[in-house]
Homo-oligomer: A and B are copies of this chain.
Amino acid sequence: MTELANDRLLRALMRQPVDVTPVWMMRQAGRYLPEYRETRKRAGSFLDLCKNPELACEVTLQPLERFPLDGAILFSDILTIPDAMGLGLYFAEGEGPRFERPVRDEAAVKALGVPDAEQDLGYVMDAVRVIRRELNGRVPLIGFSGSPWTLATYMVEGGTTKNFARCKGMLYERPDLMHHLLSVTADAVTAYLNAQIRAGVQAVMLFDTWGGVLSPRAYEAFSLQYMEQIIGGLQRASEGRAVPVVLFTKGGGQWLSRIAKSGCDAVGVDWTTDLADARVLVQDEVALQGNLDPCILYASGERIREEVGRVLDSYGHGPGHVFNLGHGIHPDVDPEHARVLVEAVHELSPPYHR
């Protein structure tokens, strides 16, 4: 395996000293980049793009060609697992993901099985291998999965939802069914992330996009518990170094101290919590990743630099901060504004590491 030329991201995620704060952006390989839209057109559908390892590699690397980012994140969809479970993922143009066969009754829940990550999701592992080869040790590659609860919302609703009526209906009315669904899904996520690690990802992130719509009690029982189970089952080292695990519950600011005890190495923080407060809540036991409001990228370069400075200052001195947005970059953002962000992090952060 190639030596890593830039390992700041991995070091910061493990709370080890770094020279400057590492930075990457959620959805950095995405629609805001014209070259992404170009590749996407060539690929055919969005799913075709995800399932083509060469093209998935191409879009994964695109933001790195433009900006001095400290990490690459595997280009893939959050719903590959339920797709591999046989739910029939498709994308209705302009309407987001949909499943042909949503999981809405006892029979459907009980029929769910854990996919074979190497076989049924082999295209993802192929993409990881191709990306690692093409990255050639420049920066680490981050793998990821949706959290079981987040996947469950799509699986039960059959797509995106505003009210979470069906999935919360099942959670409240048939907690036994929801637990079964989540348990199978947690096993699938564990196997999936371990396969990604074997294929070459150097850090993994659990995206709990919809954990924040739950009550504290339901969050603990139906989301966090399963993420803890996954974290406990992950291969935590590869190629002679630690594989850091990041857990990000969007809207989970109130539960940060609890999340920090999940066994993860780093916690994602959205922009509704100051990093200074978050740091107190997690008692410096984990690294923090975040947390610029992605809407700041709609403002001018000068304002972006100012806000980057505020985030760095809010985290303050010492190791354990990975700069990121608090949510994926919006598709209508000017790529040059993303450049300002990345460059500002590198330029303004050294004083915090002295």
Task: List the B residue with the shortest CB-CB distance to A298.
Answer: B169
Instruction: Establish whether residues A298 and B251, one from each chain, have CB atoms under 8 Å apart when the complex forms.
Output: no
What's the nearest-Cβ distance from chain B to residue A318, in Å? 21
A165 part of interface (Cβ distance < 8 Å): yes
List A residues 182-223 near B (Cβ within 8 Å): 212-218
Task: List the B residue with the shortest CB-CB distance to A270.
Answer: B215
A169, B296: Cα distance in complex, Å: 7
Encoded as 1 (CB less than 8 Å from any B CB) or 0, chain A from 234 to 277 comes to: 00000000000000000101100000000000000001111001
Encoded as 1 (CB less than 8 Å from any B CB) or 0, chain A from 17 to 53 comes to: 0000000000000000000000000000000000000
What's the nearest-Cβ distance from chain B to residue A153, in Å? 12
Instruction: Establish whether residues B300 and A173, one from each chain, have CB atoms under 8 Å apart when the complex forms.
Output: yes
Instruction: Establish whether residues B272 and A215, one from each chain, have CB atoms under 8 Å apart when the complex forms.
Output: yes
A91 part of interface (Cβ distance < 8 Å): no
A332 part of interface (Cβ distance < 8 Å): yes
Instruction: Establish whether residues A303 and B172, one from each chain, have CB atoms under 8 Å apart when the complex forms.
Output: yes
What's the nearest-Cβ distance from chain B to residue A88, in Å? 25
Encoded as 1 (CB less than 8 Å from any B CB) or 0, chain A from 81 to 102 comes to: 0000000000000000000000
A251, B271: Cα distance in complex, Å: 12
What's the nearest-Cβ distance from chain B to residue A347, in Å? 20
What's the nearest-Cβ distance from chain B to residue A176, in Å? 13
Task: List the B residue with the shortest CB-CB distance to A330.
Answer: B163
What's the nearest-Cβ distance from chain B to residue A271, in Å? 5
A41, B233: Cα distance in complex, Å: 56
A307 part of interface (Cβ distance < 8 Å): yes
Among B163, B214, B272, B300, the residue within 8 A (CB) of A216 is B272
Instruction: Establish whether residues B169 and A299, one from each chain, have CB atoms under 8 Å apart when the complex forms.
Output: yes
Instruction: Establish whether residues B163 and A293, one from each chain, have CB atoms under 8 Å apart when the complex forms.
Output: no
Known: A254-B253, A330-B165. Is A303-B216 also a contact (CB below 8 A)? Answer: no
A295 part of interface (Cβ distance < 8 Å): yes
Residues of B within 8 A of A274 (CB): 215-217
A168 part of interface (Cβ distance < 8 Å): yes
Q: Which secondary structure dominates chain A's binding surface?
A: helix
A352 part of interface (Cβ distance < 8 Å): no
List A residues 280-331 near B (Cβ within 8 Å): 293, 295-296, 298-300, 303, 307, 310, 330
What's the nearest-Cβ distance from chain B to residue A294, in Å? 8
A304, B289: Cα distance in complex, Å: 38
Residues of B within 8 A of A123 (CB): none
A67 part of interface (Cβ distance < 8 Å): no
Task: List the B residue with the shortest CB-CB distance to A164.
Answer: B295
Instruction: Establish whether residues A272 and B214, one from each chain, have CB atoms under 8 Å apart when the complex forms.
Output: yes
A274, B165: Cα distance in complex, Å: 21
A213, B294: Cα distance in complex, Å: 11
The 4 closest A-B pairs by CB, nearest first: A168-B295, A169-B298, A172-B299, A173-B299
Given contacts A165-B298, A169-B295, 7 further A-B contacts (CB under 8 A): A165-B332, A172-B298, A173-B303, A212-B272, A215-B272, A253-B254, A254-B254
CB pairs A–B below 8 angstroms (20 shown)? A163-B330, A165-B298, A166-B298, A168-B293, A168-B295, A169-B295, A169-B298, A169-B299, A172-B296, A172-B298, A172-B299, A173-B300, A214-B272, A215-B274, A216-B274, A218-B293, A251-B251, A251-B272, A253-B254, A254-B272
